[in-house]
Structure 1
Amino acid sequence: MRRKINRQMSIFELMHTSAIAKELRRISQTLDHTPDILDAVHRDLLQGRREDTGRCGLTADQVLRCAVLKQYRELTYEELAFYLEDSVAFRSFARLEMGVYPRKSILQDSIKSLTESTWEALHHLILGYAAGTRIETGKKVRIDSTAIETNIHHPTDSSLLWDGIRIMTRWMVEGHQLRPRPDYPFSDHRRVAKKRALTILNARKQETRVAAYRDLVEVARKVCGYAREAIPVLGAYQGDSFQDGCTAHLLAQQLERALRILEKVIDQTKRRVFRDEKVPASEKIISFFESHSDIIVKSRRETEYGHKVFFTGGASNLILDCVIARGNPADSDQYIDMLERHQQRFGTMPRQASADGGFASKDNLSFAKEHQVKDAVFSKRRGLGVLDMAKSHWVYKRLKHFRAGIEANISALKRRFGLTRCTWSGWRGFRRYVWSNVVS
């Protein structure tokens, strides 16, 4: 039976007097003022199952607090399990009873079940608490964007071809380990594929590199042919046990998805390497594992692979809003949406808004002024007059300096909370990771 919260706390629940323990105590008080979120956490944990059957497990309150602890201290699941067993302060914050020591697998399953909408709802409730206690009014905001990487290596055509050959061959080897063995032919070309990939990496002459690419593409074609024959066989496989049948069907689905990606990689390699064409970013494949990743290109900076994230900060240094965009949209295209989202959250437009120079445009300034934003300042004017943005040069300078504070907030999120690179898999995992870090 899964419960939302323990009805009675233990008399042994103590918090230390260190700085970290004091922070945890304040975070605990804030969570206690947002009890409505436990309904959403409880639904995520049940995942459609009945709540009055099965083992109790961790309560919704405990799971939420463990998730906050993990992101707040940037811990792995193994480290979190250790600290929950070893630290009195952590156990008191998580409200674990004596004798309850959750393993890392339990913690992972429970925390990963929390959806991105639940994290966003918790963030909204925390902002409501901040507004109620006058910590944040939302009248003065600063807007900026950053790129957060997904957990992939730097993509090259040769590494993508090698990834496809490697994982598809591995899955076909696993299929032949089923009993009775599925009847599909294939050969293991991983050794020669790895040699050709290393040759491409270390080649000094273009002719050597292109020749190695031709060999690698030919191997990839052979692997695609093997996969086309294996997919229908594995899809129709019955096996001696139900588990073998499920394994075969899963392998068929994985091979089918990887086959589509590898065929696109072969096509883009031909266009880029053999025909010297420029493939548009929207058509490029950059990962077999995190296929949702976007190519983020900023002027005079290195290309990044992940997603562009837009943040709205307040005078209290709280992150008031977060938008995770698909593709590589221009900053100026998101300015109006950020202001409208702020109006939905706080019921009114901000009195003053300061944004990075990339958000500057005449249309954005006109929209802000028409919607009662008295001072809409951009760090770079880009043809806009100072007095058109703010009521005086002094106000413009103050708001321009105020905007720089969100750079520190984003830096803290990346350095302290691990937002430089998302380590959770999938598009939904990326959204959960970002929102959980913002909340924490």
Structure 2
Amino acid sequence: PTDATLLQDGVKVITHLVRKIRQVASHAAQGFEDRTAEIKEKILSIAKVLRRRSRESWEEVDRITESVIEVTEAVVEQANAVVAKIRETGKRMAQQSKGRLQTAITLTGQLIRQAKQVVSGTRVIPDRIVSFFDPEARPIKKGKLAKGTEFGYKVRIDETESGFITGYAVYNGNPADDELLIPAVKAHIETFGVAPTAVATDRGFSSKKNESAVTALGVKRASLPRKGKKGQARTEHENQPWFKDLQRYRAAGEARISLLKRKYGLGRSRYRGLVGSKSWVGFGILTHNLDRAAKMLAKAAK
């Protein structure tokens, strides 16, 4: 999303809410101008300019974005006037829409300030808002050339050898994988009272520190393939049958992740915000585990 398209989302939402207010308190919406078509035209202009992929094109994008900012500021000013007029009516629906409108105005104001920073030359902004509809979502770069940057939350899944998900965590941002292993093992210990007998991960979770830490926590066998060039001793260690068996089990876990995305909704959260996404992931995992238990019971009954 560009700063201009984020502002467009803000204008769309504000305009939609003012339309709803007009239905129950027409006087409050007097003087509010629908400028969504004007914004849309400017966004289309940006798309055309970006096809040129030159330095001059980026300068032109900044100029168009500045004009989008001006329009958005005017919309916010008119929306604030609508909010002020709603105070004169006691209609319940108008008051409810007023609350949502105030929230949209506040968020759009943040996006205006953010866009102004960008066009003034500050291209990197900490905790930058990347979604109007989910302001807490963060950009997540997967590190694969074929995968572009995605926006949302990172999920850690802990799976047992029987196919049950016994632990999970939803993270705001994109923490390094090697920071997630120890919390996962500690969560398992807290849930079951004992450390897992064995742990298998991909290279992203591996480090000397993690291998020592999980061993200290009581893990008997840690199949953590080391990153980079390996010496003879390390190569022999990773060629042991138990290490390879655990890696085969770990590879099968990729299919579990795919299943969770395809069948149980983990590909996209329909709830907004970090708290909402945690609930969505939790419901998906609960449903998966119930399905898994039902299938195992049915198989055992045969």
Which of the five TM-score ranges fits, normalised by the shorter chain?
A: 0.7 to 0.9
The 1-side partners of 2:112 and 2:224 are apart by 44
Instruction: After TM superposition, list the pairs within 5 Å mapping 1:265-414 onto structure 2.
Output: 265-272=111-118, 274-280=119-125, 282-300=126-144, 301-382=147-228, 393-414=240-261
Residues 1:180 and 1:258: Cα distance change in structure 2 (over 3 Å): closer
Q: Deviations over 1:220-254 (max 9, x none)?
A: 110121122222332x2334xxxxx2222222222
CA distance in 1, matches of 2:134, 2:285: 22
Pick which of 308-317 and 295-304 moved more.
295-304
Contact 1:232-1:252 within 8 A present in 2 as well: no
Is 1:218–2:85 an aligned residue pair? no
SS in 1 for 2:63: helix
Distance 2:238 2:39 in 1: 65
* Aligned position for 2:297: none
State the shift of 1:178 in Å: 2.4
Q: Does the 8 Å contact 1:237/1:248 carry over to 2?
A: no
Q: Any idea what the Cα deviations from partners look like across 1:243-295, whole Å, max 9, x if unmatched? A: xx2222222222221122212222222222x2332223x42112222223222
Task: Mark the runs of 5 or more structure 1 residues left unpaired by the alignment.
Answer: 1-154, 240-244
CA deviation string 1:99-145 (max 9, x = no partner): xxxxxxxxxxxxxxxxxxxxxxxxxxxxxxxxxxxxxxxxxxxxxxx
- For 1:398-437, what aligned pairs fall within 5 Å after superposition? 398-437=245-284
Contact 2:25 2:89 in 1 (8 A): no
**Paired position in structure 2 for 1:25:** none
Q: Is the 8 A contact 2:238 2:244 kept in 1?
A: no
Query: 1:183, CA displacement in angstroms?
Result: 7.0
- Aligned equivalents of 2:72, 2:236: Cα separation in 1: 57
**Residue 166 in 1 paired to residue 12 in 2?**
yes
**1: CA distance between counterparts of 2:98 and 2:29?**
13
Return the alpha-carbon distance in structure 2 between the equivalents of residues 159 and 315 of structure 1.
Answer: 45
Q: 2:38 aligns with which of 181, 184, 192?
A: 192
Alignment of 1:171-186 (within 5 A): 171-179=17-25, 181-182=27-28, 185-186=31-32
In structure 2, how many angstroms separate the alpha carbons of the residues matched to 1:369 and 1:384?
20
Correspondences of 1:53-202 after superposition (within 5 Å): 155-179=1-25, 181-182=27-28, 185-202=31-48
Please give the per-residue CA displacement for 1:174-201, whole angstroms capped at 9, x wherever unaligned: 3233246227642222221111111112
Unaligned runs of 5+ in 2: 288-302
Query: Conserved in 1, the CA contact under 8 Å of 2:260 and 2:284?
Result: yes
Q: CA deviation at 1:409?
A: 0.7
Could you tell me how far 1:326 is from its partner in structure 2?
1.7
Corresponding residue SS for 2:24: coil
Q: May I ask how many residue pairs the two structures share in their alignment?
A: 278
Q: Contact (CA 8 Å) 1:352, 1:374: kept in 2 or not?
A: yes
Bigger share in helix: 2
The one-letter amino acid of 2:98's match is A
- The residue identity in structure 2 corresponding to 1:233 is K
1:96 corresponding residue in structure 2 = none
Residue 391 (structure 1) shift: 9.0
> 2:84 pairs with 225, 232, 254, which one?
232
> 1:336 deviation in Å?
0.9
1:411-440 per-residue CA deviation (whole Å, 9 max, x = no partner) reads 111123332112234444322321222122
